Each structure stands twice: as structure tokens, then as C-alpha cells.
Amino acid sequence: MKVNGKHYRTVWMKGSSVFLIEQNILPFDFKIYESKNHLDTCNTIKNMVVRGAGAVGATAGFAMAQTFLEAPKNNFWKYIKKAKIVIESTRPTAQNLFYATNRVFNVAEISKRPIETAVLEAQKIADEDAENCRKIGEHGNELIKNGFRIETHCNAGWLAFVDYGTALSPVYIAHRNGKKIFVFVDETRPRSQGAKLTAWELKNEGVPYNIIPDNAGAHLMSQGKIDIIIVGSDRIVRNGDIANKIGTLEKAIIAKEFNIPFFVAAPTSTFDLNCKYGKDIPIEERSEDEVLYQTGLTNKGKIEKILVCSPGSKAINPAFDITPAKYIKGIITEKGIIKPDETSIRKILN
């Protein structure tokens, strides 16, 4: 991604520190956060300094690498195993997180030089994430015709992965190839990742877009103003069901009603063969404050958090919902576009 003419990744590691784009202050300010140990890196995941499946996975991989660098010689592996549990407790729904922690741990465990191996493996995971997202863009571009109007939900762009993104990667490739496209960006309450992050990315890339209220999608679809919907995913299970940002299920149901193709874009690291049905995916419940309060920029240029709901109200805040495979036209992966069924998923993972 380019910000003010300079290329950035969402997350990277240098020495023993992990560096991340501070997403909680976007789009109003742009800063890099330095995390100096694995517990600090865990907090960046938990507090959503970093968010999005691939970016969380890469960050978790770097956090694992930090534990190998920090671990004392005495009780070395005990320290590592305890830290792994802590890292994996930060966001329970995203499969990429567990993919990264297990991969770094497993490779280092059988190495004669576990510290060096862990750091190299974490970097490899991040590099693969960026390259896989580029390939997703190439495959997804084939679905986008000149003049298409695309709806997307939440943020599955640069910021949600190490680079390129998933749902937005085909959009970027199509735009760079000269196709005239337009994107309808769901605001994506309660944290407004669409209105804040996706819109910021599209503006940087020069892609025409409008932000729309979350409950405007059905209206636009009914008027024939949406040609395709592309979303990301935090976990795809064996039967093709997916977990994604809350509100995705609604879009999928309505898209099927109006015969609009609904695609999911995700790298194969997001697939979880150990989980057969979407109902078995743990759904993260986040703080009610995300519903009751909003963060924005004041007239004086300060970022402030304000109450936007009736004082004294309570709220529930499920972060994800499950979209059954029957609503999904196809899944765009780095290896190609597949059907959302167990046979296709097993074949592409082999």
C-alpha cells in the first residue's frame, strides 16, 4: 500500500520489535506503533491496533517469534507454550491467528536453532500473505466487468492483511487495469471499518466510491444498482460456511433474493478443516462500548470518543456472524475460484 507516496505493509518486524499501522486512529491520523514484546503485541491484536484476518495472523506469527527471542534459557519451552496460549486467546474467531502460531511453533520445535527458525518462519508467513492476496486480486479481477458496481462489507483491504487485501484486491487490480468501476462501501457498524478504513484505502488508491448505511444495501440491490458483492472472511470451515464481520449474513441473503453474485475472498490459510459447520465457530463478543460510543474528529481537530446512544442503555456486540455456503457463489483464493463445498475445499488444500 502507498500512504503519502511511501510504501507500507500493515505489520512488519525489525529486530525484536513489531511495527504496525495504528488502525484505531485512521483515517484521521497516520502513525506507526512499535510493540517491543509479545504481550504488547497481544494487546495490539486485542485492542484492534491491528485487525483483519491476514494482518492478525501475521501479527500473531511475529508475536510467537518475539516469545522465542524473549524466552529464558531455563524453562525455555515452558515459557514458549505459555505465551502461545496467551497469543491465541486474543481473538478467538480468526483462523489465520491459529494458523500462524501453530506454524511458527511447530517449525521451531523441530529445529536445532529454534530462535532463528521462529523469526524466519514468521517473516515467511507475512510474505506469503502479501503474495497470496496479490494472486487473489488477479483471480478476482476476472469476475469484474467494465462498469461494475461493487458492494463490500467491513474492511478486507490493505489494512486487513499484510498488503493488497482480499475483497479489495480484485478491486485494485481491476482499477489498475483501466476498468471503470464503482464501490459501495458499507459503513459497517459498530466500529465503522468500512466508513473509516475501506473508504480511506479507496481514496488513496483513487477508486470512485460512496459510503452507504449498513441498512441501505437491500434498497440498492432492489434497484439493480449492485452488480457483485465481494467480502472477506475470518474463518471458512469444511462445508463452505464462513465467519465474517457482523452484517455479512444479511448481505448474502438479500443478494440471493435479487440474484446478485456473492463472493468471498480469502487465502487458504483462512480455511479450517478441523471445523465442519459454521455453527461450531466461536463468535467473539466484544465490549458494548463499541456500540454505545463512537470515535471521531472534532471541529478542533481532536480525536474524541462520545456517547451516541440513550444514556444508561445496555448493548450486545457480536463481532461476527455465520454465512451458510448456500448463499455463496464462490470463494476467491490464491489458487483460483472454488465452490463453497467440502470436495472443492479439500481439493484446493491438497
Instruction: List the 330-333 sheet strands across, edge first.
Output: 209-212, 182-186, 149-152, 228-231, 262-265, 330-333, 336-338
CB atoms within 10 A of CB 222: 12
> Taking a C-beta distance cutoff of 8 angstroms, is the pair 277, 241 a contact?
yes
> Bridge-partner residues for 182, per DSSP?
149
Distance, in Å, from the CA atom of 158 to the CA atom of 1, rounded to the nearest integer, reads 6
Please work out, in degrees rounded to the nearest 5, the angle formed at the alpha carbon of residue 141 by the alpha carbons of 136 and 146: 165
- What are the residue numbers of the active site? 234
Question: Which amino acid would we find at residue 157?
Answer: G
Distance, in Å, from the CA atom of 273 to the CA atom of 244, rounded to the nearest integer, reads 17
Which is nearest to 86 in space by CA: 109, 105, 107, 73?
Answer: 105
Which is nearest to 63 in space by CA: 77, 84, 91, 81?
Answer: 84
Distance, in Å, from the CA atom of 168 to the CA atom of 49, rounded to the nearest integer, reads 20
Evaluated on CA atoms 271, 276, 277, 280, the torsion sign reads: negative
CB atoms within 10 A of CB 34: 10
CA dihedral 87, 92, 98, 100 (to 10 degrees): -60
